[in-house]
Amino acid sequence: MRREAAHRQHSRWSFLLYWRLSRGQQRFNRRGGRSGIVVEV
């Protein structure tokens, strides 16, 4: 696999994870459930 393709795929995955986590965190915070869910990239 070329490095460019791998980098592009990785950035897309991290973007999706960040987007889903941000939505999930808002949902959790609204319910007052778990907090502090952080993913280091």
What pLDDT, on the 0 to 100 scale, is given for residue 9?
A: 81
* pLDDT value at residue 7: 77
Q: What is the pLDDT of residue 8?
A: 80
What gap in Å lies between CA 5 and CA 26, rounded to an integer? 32
* Residue type (1 letter), 10: H
**Residue-level pLDDT at 32:** 55
Phi then psi for 2, rounded to 5 degrees? -75, 150
C-alpha distances (whole Å) from 17 to each of 1, 4, 13, 38 are: 22, 20, 6, 11
Averages of pLDDT over runs of 10 residues in the chain (41 residues) are: 78 86 66 55 57
